[in-house]
Amino acid sequence: MSRIANGRHQLRLLLFAVLASSVASELFAEPPPTNSPAVEQIEQWAAQLDDDRFDIRQRAQQQLEQAGEPALTAVAEVAKSGSLESSTRAINILLQWTEAKEHGLRLTALEKLSILTNRPRESSMAKRLLAEVRAQAALDALIALGAKGITHSVNNVQVILGPQWKGGYEGLKHLADIPHASWISLHDAPLSDPVLAHIAALPGVQRVEIYGTEISPAAIEKFKKQAPSVVVDVRVGAYLGVGSRNVQGSITEVKPNSAAEKAGIKLGDRITEFDGEKVVDFKELTDKIRKHKPGDTVTLTLLRNNQPRKVKVTFGDWGKSDTTPSVPPLNQFRIQNPNILPPKIQVNRR
């Protein structure tokens, strides 16, 4: 179960403890209205959430759920200041709306839940879920503007801005709503010095990659002083397309259609020389590549099955050659709309 679904499940269990004292006959919902109900009708249903008759209370709750966005203000007011029963029913309605197909309704319902001072536990849970929903919306906005999002772990989200980025500097505002965006990659992005001011304002950033951009050395040095704890990796922009999880530098990944694949480099190869200079490990290989630009050609010596061989490699461009797909890092937290409401609930007053 996703974190949002799990959090909402906890909210419902908490409400059931208050609301459901016994189980009785099943009540069927009426079909949804074809037109938005009038304000007076919504106010009447809101008042009926505290009616003495169970069937009236239950039907009013169902009608308000079906009304959706037009009933938001009235339902939120009952949730905030109604009786124990009516406010609990109103919160149930808000919870139901957090599963709506309409993004605006889901988001506003969570916002209303998050500011309930009379229900601190529900409010606290809603705030956490709201932050995740906002983060997902921000990521979706970045991807729509040409960015890529990749999950490395729950708290380590990489956002890649490449040559396809069309959001300019205005679109960078969405980064602030992704608290776990700890890794920002500028791969041949059409951005210059001002982008670093946006990144410096993000408290969660731990690593910044600057590959093949027009950002000046002076701006990079200024950024390093502003954010001394951030790892800054600067490269001219040459892209080989290999990865290694091996201390000795054996290749464990070759990207499709990369310079490495085109040169015939294979999994298990170990690069021992770079243009005649010895290469001790993968870090040293990376340090040598970072000094080259796209289009440069070098000679690599490989060790394959203990046999040396030489290959010529023409470097690609980080922004244009990286074929890593965009995987929304927060998609595991999307609302899954689980049906966890019990089919029969009766409220007995005491």
For 277-283, what is the mean pLDDT?
91
Burial of 11 (C-beta count, 10 Å sphere; 0-12/13-18/19+):
buried
The CATH number given to 239-314 is: 2.30.42.10
Please name every residue paired with 298 in a beta bridge, in sequence order, or none if there are none: 313
Query: Where in the chain are the domains?
Result: 3-132, 148-237, 239-314
Q: Quick one: pLDDT band at residue 126, thresholds 50, 70, 90?
A: confident
Structure tokens at 166: 């069309």
pLDDT digits (tens, 9 = 90+) for 321-349: 665 655 554 444 333 333 323 232 334 34
Q: pLDDT at position 100, please?
A: 82
pLDDT at 313 over 70: yes
Q: Report pLDDT for 190.
A: 95
This prediction has a pTM of 0.65
pLDDT of residue 28 exceeding 60, the answer is no
Q: Report the C-alpha gap between 24 and 34 in whole angstroms.
A: 30
Confidence (pLDDT) at 176: 94
What letter does residue 250 receive in the DSSP assignment? B
Where is average pLDDT lowest: 75-89, 145-159, 283-297? 145-159
Instruction: Pinpoint the alpha helices (H) of the chain.
Output: 3-19, 39-48, 54-67, 72-81, 84-97, 103-114, 120-144, 195-200, 217-226, 259-263, 282-289, 318-321
pLDDT of residue 97: 87
* Residue 247 burial by Cβ neighbours in a 10 Å radius (0-12, 13-18, 19+): exposed
Q: Is the pLDDT of residue 197 over 70?
A: yes
pLDDT at 25: 33
Give the pLDDT band of residue 9 (cuts 50, 70, 90): low
Count of CB atoms within 10 A of residue 108's CB?
19
pLDDT at 196: 97
CB-based contact 148:328 (threshold 8 Å): no
Rounded Cα gap, residues 333 and 136, in angstroms? 8
